[in-house]
Structure 1
Amino acid sequence: MQPWSIDMQGRFEEITFESEVLKGNPLNDSYKRPLWIYLPPGYDKEPERRYPSIYMIQGFTGQLDMWRNRSAFRKNFPELADELFARGEAPACILVWVDCWTSYGGSQFLDSPGTGRYHTYLCDEIVPWVDAHYRTLPQREHRGIAGKSSGGYGAMITPMLRPDLWGGLATHAGDALFETCYQPEFRETVRTLRDQYDGSFEKFWQDFRSRPAFTRRSDHTLLNDWGMAACYSADPDGTIHLPYDLETGALIPEVWEKWLVWDPVRMVPSHAETLRNMRAIYIDAGRRDEFFLDLGAEAFRRALEQIGVTDVYFELFDGTHMAIEYRYTLSLKYLAERLAS
């Protein structure tokens, strides 16, 4: 495999989307966002044909151009997806890569006064625009969403919040079962803040923005805690509340409960009918996931089973949280087959 180029059989259209709902967002992040639309082989030769659409969303700290990053001797996901369709191994689909990055690292694809209206951006701006400009099958039964980590989280909760739009989801190691994926890191944040930043998140941010990011081992943990709090527990005026005491790490129940409301595992019972009507649900995670998101995947599967949803693809595979782009074509094929019918 030549590492510097590949001949795509389909093609990408790359645009800058000017969002109305992201204007004036609390972090003053750009309201002009990159948007990629992948059109499968044959799209231009069959002008009457319409296609299912699958939306790809990223993990925390992810920005759109990272999808084209390559590891040594491995193809990136856009290349793997193009090969899948070019070989005819899955029904052709339009793929949409959406950017919901924020200067805190991400949005969890939610509307929050701490970050901005990213759920509305995705569902009420991007989806209608794509349907208006490309030959999609615009019904929910033919539209899916997929992602890893925080993108996997977004793929789980977005169809629950907007059942009118989404008929399929795929989550790779999505954030779930918050007491196992988030809570254990709170104590690490408290100790780091105490020993390095005088107990102040403000001093952490000053330091973080003064040097190359992630040059300290603790950067990800602190960034993740603050970023999640901005999404899950911000006041209407944008004030962000952490769910634990900054000196002891003890949970603050009323704030922690605001986080738990957004746990996909806990959301399932309230959205049972929606989930029973999904055409495709794909769940996987590595057995050695560093954030223990394999436990969240199992908990999400069990929650679905308890409401009667058993037609689910589920797998715990031998792997970690990292370098699992080869798994994405498995879920893409699964979604494409279910959403094309």
Structure 2
Amino acid sequence: MLPWSPERAGRIDEGVVDSALLRDNPLGDPHQRPVYVYLPPGYDESDRRYPVVYVIQGYTGHVRTWLNREPFRRPFPDLVDELFATGGAPPAIVVFVDAWTSWGGSQFVDSPATGRYHSYLCDEVVAWVDARYRTIADRDHRAITGKSSGGYGAMITPILRPDLFAALATHAGDALFEVCYQPFFPAVARMLRDEYDGSYESFRAGLAGREVGTRDSDHDLIEIYGCSAAYSGNPDASVSIPFDDNGVVVDEVWSRWLANDPVRLAADPTNADTLRSLHSVWIDAGTRDEYYLDLGARAFHRALAAAGVDDENVHFETFPAGHGNIGYRYPLALAWLCRRFP
């Protein structure tokens, strides 16, 4: 496996979305966000219009990490280019979106503690792309895909914004919250007790004077805090943690998390018509996923079936793997989505 990118048959435009919705966000994060737009082979030689697939990242990811190269693996943009260059799928525009925050991620939701990231994605990024590229600008020709937190965003976005998206792919997306999140609460409560006197405020203060990742507990503490900021942020930009010092859930806060669970959103009867209107849903996860997201994937699949979603419109699959190193799955879902656009 060569450690550099080959010459592409298509091309990637690097742009910047100047977001009014993210301006003055509570964390002071940039409101100007990079965006990568992959244009398939032949885009510049014709006047045809193309469907669009939006790609959103996992927790701690940002748009530039898509071009990072791991040993013996190719970055996803290279796999996208190969897919279209070899005729493995009908051509599409592929948009890589940035929704990073100072806490590692936004979960692609609107939150008073982080910013209006769902509205930014739906109302600003989509409009920015449609204004600059030859897209087929309707819901039936838009899909959204992602892994982990990105898979979570891919599940909730077509439910919340059916006017924009009629297709999705989720790879090990956060779902079935009592299974994927709650088991980690006692461990995080211990970390806070043993290292920070039980206080997230002490943890936050301690981060100010050192590099993130220099303590083994950093990632888990940041991830739970970042999710809390997304799911249980308060109007004054403070953050409510969903468990007490023994790791026991605080019901009034935990209920706010559960309201964001894709399994519960899919099971809500008011969303049934929206779910049945989706023409393509890809769901997969590894059977050894450390966050039990294969169980979340199965629960989401079952909720779709219970809502009356036609099984011919759904691809559900589990495979032998953990949570990491499943990037080879992304082109499979992308090809399937592109073949299913009207």
Q: TM-score, normalised by structure 2?
A: 0.97
Amino acid at match of 1:31: H
- Per the alignment, residue 111 of structure 2 pairs with 112
Name which of 250, 253, 256 aligns with 2:254. 256
Written as runs of structure 1 = structure 2, the 5 A alignment for 1:258-273 is: 258-270=256-268, 271-273=271-273
More deviation, 198-207/275-284: 198-207
Written as runs of structure 1 = structure 2, the 5 A alignment for 1:140-289 is: 140-245=139-244, 247-270=245-268, 271-289=271-289
- Per the alignment, residue 306 of structure 2 pairs with 306
Q: Does 1:90 align with 2:89?
A: yes
| 1:51-71 per-position Cα deviation (integer Å, ceiling 9, x unaligned) | 000000001111111111122
Written as runs of structure 1 = structure 2, the 5 A alignment for 1:27-176 is: 27-47=27-47, 49-176=48-175
Tell me, in whole angstroms, the C-alpha distance in 2 between the residues paired with 1:46 and 1:54: 20
Tell me, in whole angstroms, the C-alpha distance in 2 between the residues paired with 1:330 and 1:209: 41
Tell me, in whole angstroms, the C-alpha distance in 2 between the residues paired with 1:188 and 1:45: 56
Amino acid at match of 2:201: E
Amino acid at match of 1:195: D
Amino acid at match of 2:116: R
Q: State, as a whole percentage, how many aligned pairs show the same letter.
A: 56
Amino acid at match of 1:23: R
How far 1:138 sits from its partner (Å)? 0.5
Contact 2:17 2:128 in 1 (8 A): no
Amino acid at match of 1:37: V
How far 1:211 sits from its partner (Å)? 2.7
How far 1:213 sits from its partner (Å)? 2.1
| 1:90-110 per-position Cα deviation (integer Å, ceiling 9, x unaligned) | 010000011000001111111
How far 1:215 sits from its partner (Å)? 2.9
Tell me, in whole angstroms, the C-alpha distance in 2 between the residues paired with 1:106 and 1:278: 27
- Per the alignment, residue 294 of structure 1 pairs with 294
Tell me, in whole angstroms, the C-alpha distance in 2 between the residues paired with 1:331 and 1:213: 33
How far 1:210 sits from its partner (Å)? 2.9
- Per the alignment, residue 330 of structure 2 pairs with 328
Size of the aligned set, in residue pairs, is 338
The secondary structure found in structure 2 opposite 1:44 is helix
Amino acid at match of 1:257: S
Tell me, in whole angstroms, the C-alpha distance in 2 between the residues paired with 1:216 and 1:10: 42
Contact 2:5 2:78 in 1 (8 A): no
The secondary structure found in structure 1 opposite 2:124 is helix
How far 1:214 sits from its partner (Å)? 2.1
How far 1:115 sits from its partner (Å)? 0.3
More deviation, 95-104/68-77: 68-77
Amino acid at match of 2:204: W
The secondary structure found in structure 2 opposite 1:152 is helix
Amino acid at match of 2:326: I
| 1:14-68 per-position Cα deviation (integer Å, ceiling 9, x unaligned) | 0122111100100000001101100000000112x01000000001111111111
Tell me, in whole angstroms, the C-alpha distance in 2 between the residues paired with 1:231 and 1:6: 38
Tell me, in whole angstroms, the C-alpha distance in 2 between the residues paired with 1:269 and 1:303: 5
Amino acid at match of 1:61: T
Tell me, in whole angstroms, the C-alpha distance in 1 between the residues paired with 2:176 and 2:208: 31
Tell me, in whole angstroms, the C-alpha distance in 2 between the residues paired with 1:227 and 1:115: 9
Tell me, in whole angstroms, the C-alpha distance in 1 between the residues paired with 2:75 and 2:200: 35
The secondary structure found in structure 1 opposite 2:173 is coil
Amino acid at match of 1:219: D
How far 1:209 sits from its partner (Å)? 3.8
Tell me, in whole angstroms, the C-alpha distance in 2 between the residues paired with 1:313 and 1:209: 45
Tell me, in whole angstroms, the C-alpha distance in 2 between the residues paired with 1:213 and 1:202: 16
Q: TM-score, normalised by structure 1?
A: 0.97
How far 1:202 sits from its partner (Å)? 1.7
Tell me, in whole angstroms, the C-alpha distance in 1 between the residues paired with 2:273 and 2:213: 42
Contact 2:231 2:260 in 1 (8 A): yes
| 1:63-95 per-position Cα deviation (integer Å, ceiling 9, x unaligned) | 111111122121110000100000001010000
| 1:184-215 per-position Cα deviation (integer Å, ceiling 9, x unaligned) | 11101110111111111122123334333223
Tell me, in whole angstroms, the C-alpha distance in 1 between the residues paired with 2:23 and 2:171: 31
Amino acid at match of 1:334: W
